[in-house]
Amino acid sequence: MIVRHIDETKNTDKQVDSKTWTSYRFLLADDGMGFSMHETHIYPNTESHFWYKNHLEAVYCVGGDGEIEELENGKVHPIEPGTLYALDQHDDHKLRAGKDGLRLVCVFNPPVTGREVHDESGAYPAAS
């Protein structure tokens, strides 16, 4: 059984920081679950471009406010606590956080290792 508290991820290799977000990695590929699970904090009043060409992601909002824009068709969806979005088509998107930022629980398949870096298109590399 794996039991972890968010404080165990902070200031360790399970914490990944960027200009617009911090992600706390609860489960990673080496945990052997077949998916990874993170809590990601999107900083207030920021915009991030993501395009997970090699991963599927489901995201559940547990705090804050914002919106997601589907770049293929320009559709914009509000995000608030209780909202789930699933990138089931490897959707190219922009995520915008409002004045309170966003607190999101994210699940990736295949699981990430925790050390991936987004490339210029907003993607993580394919799992090896």
DSSP state of 45: T
Global pTM? 0.89
pLDDT at residue 125 is higher than 60: no
Tens digit of each residue's pLDDT (9 = 90 or more) over 102-115: 999 999 999 988 76
Residue by residue, DSSP assigns 78-121 as EE-TT-EEEETT---EEEEEEEEEEEEEEEEESPP-S-----TT
Within a domain: 126: no
- Please tell me the total count of domains within the chain: 1
Residue 35 lies in a domain: yes
Please report which confidence band the pLDDT of residue 120 belongs to, taking 50, 70 and 90 as the band edges: low
Higher pLDDT, 123 or 36: 36
Specify if 121 maps to a domain. Answer: no
Q: Which structural domain range is residue 55 located in?
A: 25-109
Q: Is residue 97 part of a domain?
A: yes
Residue 98 belongs to a domain with what CATH number?
2.60.120.10
pLDDT score recorded for residue 114:
74
pLDDT, position 123 = 57
- What is the predicted pLDDT for the residue at 53? 87
Tens of pLDDT, residues 19-50: 999 999 999 999 999 999 999 999 999 999 99
Is the residue at 18 inside a domain?
no
pLDDT at 118: 56
Tell me, yes or no, whether 65 lies in a domain: yes
pLDDT digits (tens, 9 = 90+) for 50-84: 998 888 999 999 999 999 999 999 999 999 999 99
